[in-house]
Structure 1
């Protein structure tokens, strides 16, 4: 019989396949959206996808990529069920938020929290659950057209800081920040963020950097953490 591939690697490979076909990036908006910004919903897509020339950008307030992957959400049927994460807090920089579940849009891109819920972060449920092997990805806005958002101060986090993730059953997992980086949305490190890890790891993603002419930031801020 052929050997069985460990579920965490098979699931992550499916995730990377889904993400790899995304074809355009959009950014978080400034508090005052540019006049040329679209009035479409700002929750259409997410950071953390490979970059490509910007085309078909989403409205101000979105974080990441648009475009069709042609894939469905990666299956996790061979992984034991764990309660979904319900809350995240970062005491050192005063961040606290409930967590909404984020999935895939009809075009195969990853959802982000709606701009009107800018003070709420989200967990991408197609990836790993906190506490299981692999990267758990939490996504939050820096700013939206409504103003300051949940991950506005994420840039101030330091290596060694504690990130607490509580699940729906009341169990709190403690992650330690191992590093952070600001990257151009045209050179997003997809494998580094979404690639398989043996242990439970954490990724926090938001927007960063200067604003372009349409009011979108040009970079992403990525914070990396490991289960303590």
Structure 2
């Protein structure tokens, strides 16, 4: 495993005193059956500006994330929990590789930007407006809940050979002793098409 991949195992580890009062939705069993990606031409790299996921009412600007001093992946600050962030050391959305977007599930104040991520299913859409004016439209292939101790680093950050997207948040049981959720919810998707600016 490369140093970069090894450094990103705990992708979403933010802690809080306690979760929101209602548990966030978890993926249904049907959401774990992947749909194969189609062949769509990759786009040249361009930074993402905004993410929209209509099925779960997400419309958020995208901040840039990198790595913490301990080499784990940054998460958006809890003060901006209604915004998601793009891991800028990986692929740009629409370019070949896995574009990783991370958002919080909740805070002590209630639901955050990716609270409903577990409601996504195969065929749902996620659109990313890029700095070059193009919009990369992705189809969700699967949504999975995995333990943070079994985080699928290669599947999330590795190059699948096509333009892909990964949307990540926390999920599962909230461990009050550790102050964090024990799982991650990950939506995997592929580039469906690109749209030019109007």
Would the alpha carbon gap of residues 92 and 26 (structure 1) be closer, same or farther in structure 2, given more than 3 Å must change?
closer
Question: How many Å separate the matches in 1 of 2:188 and 2:110?
Answer: 26
Would the alpha carbon gap of residues 18 and 158 (structure 1) be closer, same or farther in structure 2, given more than 3 Å must change?
same
Which structure 1 residue ranges, 5 or more long, are not aligned?
Answer: 1-12, 34-79
Alignment of 1:118-157 (within 5 A): 118-157=81-120
Would the alpha carbon gap of residues 96 and 31 (structure 1) be closer, same or farther in structure 2, given more than 3 Å must change?
farther
* More deviation, 166-175/21-30: 21-30
Offset from partner CA, 1:148-204 (integer Å, 9 cap, x none) = 110001111111001000012321110000001100011111111111121100000
Out of 186, 197, 213, the residue aligned to residue 149 of structure 2 is: 186
* Alpha-carbon shift at residue 110 of structure 1 (Å): 1.5
Greater radius of gyration (CA): 1
Q: Greater strand percent: which structure?
A: 2
Which structure 2 residue ranges, 5 or more long, are not aligned?
Answer: 20-42, 193-198
Question: How many Å separate the matches in 1 of 2:44 and 2:71?
Answer: 24
Is 1:219 aligned with 2:178?
no
Would the alpha carbon gap of residues 93 and 25 (structure 1) be closer, same or farther in structure 2, given more than 3 Å must change?
closer
Would the alpha carbon gap of residues 126 and 166 (structure 1) be closer, same or farther in structure 2, given more than 3 Å must change?
same
* More deviation, 157-166/98-107: 98-107
Counterpart secondary structure, 2:133: coil
Q: Normalising by structure 1, what TM-score?
A: 0.67
Which has the bigger relative contact order, CA under 8 A and spacing at least 6?
2
* Alpha-carbon shift at residue 30 of structure 1 (Å): 5.6
Between the two proteins, the alignment pairs up a number of residues equal to 168
Q: Normalising by structure 2, what TM-score?
A: 0.77
Question: How many Å separate the matches in 1 of 2:148 and 2:67?
Answer: 20
